[in-house]
Amino acid sequence: LPEPARIAEFTLRVLTQRHDLDGETVLITAGPTREPLDPVRFISNRSSGKMGYALAEAASERGARVLLVSGPVQLDPPAGVELMRVQTAREMRDAVMERLAESSIIIKTAAVADYHVANVPKQKVKKTAMRLSLELDPTPDILAEVGAEIERRATGQLLIGFAAETENVVAEAKRKLQAKKCDMVVANDVSADGTGFESDENEVVLAMRTGEVAPLGRAAKRVLADQILDHAMQLRLALHKSR
Ligand code: CTP
């Protein structure tokens, strides 16, 4: 039996929970991807997956059906969420494109590796005393592909991207919003102390298609997840009204 405090917390949450995402299917990508260099090595990005898993939990608790496409992370999936595990950017792209049509909201928190080795050697690369150069090809930009697909088909699906920046956070968020045809970009300054990657807290700015920019104060990722979903629902209403 769980501790009484946990039972109380769970009961309270069930009784007070909003169900404003009933009927929605939310597709979320989370964590890093791993691009193999040989059978024992890979390149990857810093990412714990915590923000994506927090969004998955929040959306599920608010009544959505949640499809979570996750790179390798040390987290348990939230209850009731459909988890698809992937390793590479190509695998993540294929999983997203396969589930795209059934999704009403797509949120891309994943830290996708931007480059990979096109022809991965079958055997381990042996160490020598010489300098080693890697030749890398770009991976598919999943968010840009999804943005273009939604626009081409005029499906009205809501697309939310993330941007990890070390400078010019808002300007970069706005640039990615346009370039990848998103409805919202959630940007964070990953050089700030105590927020970002491994942290349980974050501080983000939302840049929206409507031109609105909303800074969300520093908070736990689980709290920010609900605030991001609140803004997403308001944004969709505003976009539908303006169509
Ligand atoms: N993204 C993606 N596929 C990629 C690279 C990024 O879908 N191959 C998505 C991420 O999931 C995120 C958004 O694009 O939602 C922005 O990712 P980010 O790494 O900040 O931007 P990049 O486009 O990679 O640009 P840069 O690294 O130059 O800032």
DSSP 157-221: -EEEEEEEESS-HHHHHHHHHHHTT-SEEEEEETTSTTSSTT-SEEEEEEEETTS-EEEEEEEEH
In sequence order, the 6+-apart residues with CB closer than 8 A to the CB of 145 are 93, 97
195-203: long-range contacts, CB 8 A cutoff, minimum separation 24: 196/164, 197/46, 197/47, 197/48, 198/46, 198/48, 198/50, 199/50, 200/50, 202/51
The answer, yes or no, to whether any atom of ligand 1 lies below 6 A from the CB of 30, is: no
* Active site annotation includes 188: no
The answer, yes or no, to whether any atom of ligand 1 lies below 6 A from the CB of 230, is: no
The label of the residue with tokens 């990615």 reads 176
The answer, yes or no, to whether any atom of ligand 1 lies below 6 A from the CB of 96, is: no
Q: Which contiguous run of DSSP H or E holds residue 9?
A: helix 4-16
Probe residue for ligand 1, chosen from 143, 175, 185 as the CB with the greatest number of ligand atoms within 8 Å: 143
Ligand 1 atom at minimal distance to the Cα of residue 145:
7
pLDDT in tens, the chain (243 residues): 889 998 998 888 788 888 999 999 999 999 999 999 999 999 999 999 999 999 999 999 999 999 999 999 999 999 999 999 999 999 999 999 999 999 999 999 999 999 999 999 999 999 998 999 999 999 999 999 999 999 999 999 999 999 999 899 999 999 999 999 999 999 998 887 777 677 889 999 999 999 999 999 899 999 999 999 999 999 999 998 887
CA 87 / ligand 1 centre spacing (Å): 16
Catalytic residue among 45, 119, 168, 188, which? 45
Q: Whose CA is nearest to atom 8 of ligand 1?
A: 141
d(CA 113, CA 97): 18
Q: Whose CA is nearest to atom 27 of ligand 1?
A: 114
Report the mean per-residue pLDDT for the chain: 94
CA 141 / ligand 1 centre spacing (Å): 7
What's the pLDDT tens digit per position in 47-90? 999 999 999 999 999 999 999 999 999 999 999 999 999 999 99
User: CA 209, 212, 215, 216 torsion: positive or negative?
Assistant: negative
